Amino acid sequence: MRRAQRPAAAFLLAFSGLLAELAWTRIAGLLFFGESAFLVVSWAVAGLSLGAALGAVRPAWLRLPASSVASGVAGAASAAGLAVVLLAAGRGGVGLALAAIVPGFTAFGLALAGVFAGDARHAPRIYAADLAGAALGAVATLPALSVLGAPDALLLAAAGAAAAGVVAAPTAGRRAYLGTVALALALLVAAPGPDADPARWATPKSIVAELDRGGQRLASRWGSVGRSDLVRRADGAEVLYLDGGAGSLVPTPASARLWRGDLGRFAFEVLRPERVFVVGGGAGLEVAHALETGAHEVVVAEVNRAGADLARERLAAARGDAASGGGAADPADPFGDPRVRWVGDEARAVLRASDGAYDLITLSQAVTRTAEARGLALTENGIYTVEATRDWLAALAPGGAVAYELYDELTLTRALTTVGTALVEMGAAPDDAAALDRLVMLLDPATAPPTPLLLAFRDAPDRGAVVTIARAAEARGLALLHLPGLLENPPLNAVAGGSASLASLVAASTEVDVAPTRDDAPFFWSFEPRLPASLQRAVTGLGVAALLTGSALILLWSRRAAPPPGTRRGLTLAALLGVSFLGLEMALLSRAGLLLGHPAAALATTLGALLAGAGIGAVRTRRRPDAWRSVSVAAGAAGLATAAWTAAWPPVAAAVAGEQAIVRTVATVALLTPLGVALGAPFPLLLRRLGASAVGPGTIARAWALNGAGSLLGGVGAIAVAHLAGFRTVSLIAVAGYVAVSIIAFAMHDRGEGR
């Protein structure tokens, strides 16, 4: 039992820590906006590093009894942080939320450092258990968020942390105490969960403003991508909100006059499509438009199943109320009509798996919670990229169009450059002037701000079709922005005349970035030139903190215990491994997320496969020699595996992009697991090597802290590099990092571990 004590504690701590981290991202995303998820992950890593650093400063805190206490504190602090954040309900902003989050992760970091520091000889076995727990935590996130919701998932993680304390506790009395804490937290999970009533929120979310105007929340439901709330507005219309931000009108019979006047209906009325593909069905509004304007077939791709189910139930009740009240039920039934097929998968994959030939593909303000307008997120969805646009256009029937209902002038301009670039690259238009002949841009001045609509045709519409669109738009009171052959306003008239290009217009825009977005850097919502200000602050603040912490841990030692030869360089390698691993992880999340589509499923699959493979790799290091050369070989293999994955991923992803979700998932796991095996070897070998020559457990704690500081730097750095050069470049930098570790470790072996 004692031999399994440390691995079991590491497993539970890693499982609980990752589940807590991901649950916190959803809670922060509910109360705040897209960048909060990135900040939560960054500060969680910072807390883990801080906890290990505390152990390095106070070696007595690294003993297993102290680790058991730290585990219990991690559980209690996580639950207390949840209470603070929910009671504050956004007051104090993201700063207060982060302040409530960090103590729990600091305790997690201290507990994990203690579990490892006392038995460096068996670091590979303990590290394998740590990675296996993290992999299971990633996979468990999907059902936990769907069944329990983020607050209860966090309480489950808190109970798991306290249970780790029970495993590590040295005495029956302490086990009984920590067991009581774990049981109490588990009972909180079973009790009715905290509601997080949006009427109390002090945040600029759309749902808050609607409730302030007299709206009433009818129902709420957690799902894997966020929380859906159904609100009846003061005017009687009902809106389905996702995380309180993105709202979709529910096409109820009582509000038919209102939703039939929605701008998104225009494309249906003027084109009268028979086959329709809806990207992000929401509450079914676009589906209702399609059915009422004569569509014979409607395919809907929607990843928020919880929200769709909520809308389905509400519409069934509303239609029943209309029928029992003596009125005729509305004919539009987005969920029950046999002409409609809802698919809970990523839109591009669904489209590739279909036979194409759609008369209309509509993207009506389609935004997932991994990407929010003006926000900084871990990754962004890939529906507004050049590659995605080529998919939409290629699936059109002759005369068909893609309809983009956007947000404002900036989103319209970037969509214009993206679509124009896609038309030229796919050969549908020979140049930018010809691409403009395939675009129509309109504006609804009745909304605040005015809402733009972009219609993109693969084949240029003739003059008669353009005139028909113009007359229909004027009849609805829409402003005409661009009509090919009829209305070409500056500066697009220069592009249409051949004296300018879309690229030159982008280059001339120095105040904002409206360049086309691509899958390698799908930051459609980032309009600031170079790096967004929020990212600059994160890179500066977190980067400086990581560098200062790392430098202190490497350079500062007690006069009574100078570091053994090679220790400082070994600790530097721990930081470099952290930079490389987390930077690569961010690239993997983005690349795999574009293929898998569903945000939560992509996260669970990517992290689960990568960490499970890394656990296998850690176990396999047990019989390798305890030498710097072993570290060098393992790091070199990790670099080669990363390079191989970077080269192999694009063709494999392209080959399975149109397959069912299970096929794409299996392909992703098949590529990521071997990569994880290679990535999981260097760090446990480094821990064992450092532990063999260390005077006390403080060196291992320093290595953990530096690995965390490196991970912090790698995470923020990866997003910054991706904005500037794309995620492929991030992967190549990770390759360089592993190669550098290999070279340095080999040099240390060659010099006999000299500093």
In a domain, 212, yes or no: no
Burial of 294 (0-12, 13-18, 19+ CB in 10 A): exposed
Q: Are 146 and 41 in a shared domain?
A: yes
Q: Alpha-carbon distance 684 to 621, whole Å? A: 8
Given a contact cutoff of 8 angstroms between Cβ atoms, the answer to whether 466 and 422 are in contact is no
pLDDT, tens digit, 9 for 90 and up, residues 275-314: 999 998 888 999 999 999 999 999 999 888 889 999 999 8
Task: List pLDDT tens digits, range 468-492.
Answer: 999 999 999 999 999 998 998 888 9
Q: Is 542 exposed, middle or buried (0-12, 13-18, 19+ CB in 10 A)?
A: buried
Separate counts of helices (H) and strands (E) for the chain? 27, 13
H/E segment holding residue 404: strand 396-405
Distance CA 302, CA 279 (A): 7
Structural domain contains residue 667 = yes
Q: Does pLDDT of 325 surpass 70?
A: no
pLDDT higher at 423 or 499: 423
Q: In terms of C-beta density within 10 A (0-12 exposed, 13-18 middle, 19 or more buried), how is residue 508 classed?
A: exposed
Question: What integer pLDDT is reported at residue 529 of this predicted model?
Answer: 87
Q: Which single residue is written with the structure tokens 């809970």?
A: 344
Cα 152 from chain centre: 20
Q: Which of 481, 508, 535 is the last residue of a domain?
A: 508
Task: Identify the residue whose tokens are 């039934």.
Answer: 333
User: Residue 461: phi, psi to the nearest 5?
Assistant: -70, 145
Do 503 and 543 lie in a common domain?
no
CA 572 to chain centre: 30
Asked if 754 and 564 count as a contact pair (C-beta separation under 8 A), the reply is no
pLDDT digits (tens, 9 = 90+) for 603-651: 889 999 999 999 999 988 888 888 889 999 999 999 999 999 999 999 9
pLDDT of the residue at 562: 66
Q: How far is 437 from 74, CA to CA, in rounded Å?
A: 61
Nearest alpha-carbon partner for 110 in 152, 160, 161, 155: 161
Selection from 191, 138, 126, 190 nearest residue 16 by Cα: 138
The residue among 361, 359, 439, 375 whose CA lies nearest residue 407 is: 375
The residue ranking higher by pLDDT, 245 or 34, is 245
Show the 3-state SS of 613-676: HHHHHHHHHHHCCCCHHHHHHHHHHHHHHHHHHHHHHHHHHHHHCCCCHHHHHHHHHHHHHHHH
pLDDT at 95: 86
Q: 159, 190 in Cβ contact below 8 A?
A: no
Q: What is the pLDDT of residue 602?
A: 84
Residue 122 DSSP class: G
Share of the chain above pLDDT 70, in %: 93
Q: What is the pLDDT of residue 366?
A: 60
How deeply is 540 buried, as exposed, middle or buried, from its count of CB atoms within 10 A (0-12, 13-18, 19+)? Answer: exposed
Do 165 and 262 have their domain in common?
Answer: no
Same domain, 303 and 379: yes
Residue 601: inside a domain: yes
At residue 375, the pLDDT reads 39
- Return the bridge partners of 297, or none: 275
Name the residue among 597, 608, 636 with its Cα closest to residue 738: 636
Tell me which residue of 293, 292, 255 sits closest to 271, measured CA to CA: 293
Clarify whether residues 47 and 87 are in a common domain. yes
Residues in the chain: 755
- The bridge status of strand 396-405 relative to strand 358-364 is parallel
CA-CA distances (angstroms) from residue 635 to 159, 166, 345, 511, 647?
A: 36, 35, 37, 43, 19
Query: Dihedral of the CA atoms 394, 395, 398, 404 (nearest 10)?
Result: -90
Assess whether 332 and 423 both reside in one domain: yes
Name the residue type at position 286: E
Q: What is the domain extent for residue 358?
A: 249-508
Q: Is residue 231 part of a domain?
A: no
pLDDT (tens digit, 9 = 90+) per residue, 677-698? 999 999 999 988 887 766 567 7
Same domain, 488 and 558: no
What's the CATH number where 585 sits? 1.20.1250.20
Cβ atoms within 10 Å of 673's Cβ, excluding its own: 18
606 and 683 assigned to the same domain: yes
Q: Is the peptide bond before 449 cis (omega within 30 degrees of 0)?
A: yes
Distance, in Å, from the CA atom of 720 to the CA atom of 519, rounded to the nearest integer, reads 16
Pair (351, 385) in one structural domain: yes
Average pLDDT for the chain = 87
pLDDT in tens, 332-369: 789 989 999 999 888 888 888 888 799 999 997 665 43
* pTM of the shown model: 0.89
Q: Is the pLDDT of residue 392 over 90?
A: yes
Give the dihedral of Cα atoms 560, 563, 565, 571; nearest 10 deg: 180
Between CA 631 and CA 435 the distance in angstroms is: 54
- Is residue 206, in this structure, part of any structural domain at all? no
Residue 750 has pLDDT above 60, yes or no: no
Q: Is the peptide bond before 491 cis (omega within 30 degrees of 0)?
A: yes
Q: What are phi and psi of 440, to 5 degrees?
A: -125, 130
Determine contact, residues 273/479, Cβ cutoff 8 Å.
Answer: no
φ, ψ of residue 441 to 5 degrees: the values are: -125, 130
Asked, for residue 662, whether it belongs to a domain, the answer is yes
pLDDT on residue 101: 93
The closest of 13, 77, 22 to 44, measured between CA atoms, is 22
Region of residue 659 (left: phi > 0; alpha: psi -120 to 50; beta: else): beta
Three-state DSSP at 487 gives strand
- CB within 8 A of 95, min separation 6: which ones? none
How many separate domains does the chain show? 2
Tell whether 46 is covered by a domain: yes
Alpha-carbon separation of residue 672 from 386, 591, 632, 639, 736 (angstroms): 26, 11, 22, 14, 19
Domain CATH code at residue 309: 3.40.50.150
Beta strands at 238-242 and 226-232: parallel, antiparallel or unpaired: antiparallel
**Do residues 250 and 315 touch, judged by C-beta distance below 8 A?**
yes
Rounded distance, CA 332 to CA 729, Å?
48
Is residue 167 within 8 Å of residue 69, measured between CB atoms?
Answer: no
587 and 490 in a common domain: no
CB within 8 Å of 219: residues ≥ 6 apart: 229, 230, 310, 314
556 in the same domain as 702 = yes
pLDDT at 273 over 80: yes
Q: Which of 477, 508, 539 marks a domain boundary?
A: 508
Is the pLDDT at 323 greater than 70, yes or no? no
- The order of strands in the sheet holding 340-343 is 340-343, 297-301, 275-279, 358-364, 396-405, 451-457, 439-444, 479-483, 487-488
- Please state, in angstroms and rounded to a whole number, the distance separating the CA atoms of residues 346 and 143: 18
Highest mean predicted confidence (pLDDT) among 250-264, 408-422, 620-634: 408-422
Report pLDDT for 503. Answer: 93
Based on the domain organization, do 678 and 617 belong to the same domain?
A: yes
Token readout for 310 is 């909520």
Q: Is 158:185 a contact under the CB 8 Å cutoff?
A: yes
Q: Is residue 198 part of a domain?
A: no
Q: End-to-end alpha-carbon separation of the chain, Å?
A: 39
Tens-place pLDDT, residues 444-468: 998 888 999 999 999 999 999 999 9
Distance of CA 41 to the CA centre of its chain: 11
Q: What is the mean pLDDT of residues 80-92?
A: 91
Instruction: Please state, in angstroms and rounded to a whole number, the distance separating the CA atoms of residues 109 and 111.
Output: 5
For residue 560, the model assigns a pLDDT of: 53
Is 702 strand, coil or helix? helix
Q: Is the pLDDT of residue 246 over 80?
A: no
Which of 476, 508, 540 marks a domain boundary? 508
Q: How many CB atoms lie under 10 A from the CB of residue 707?
A: 28
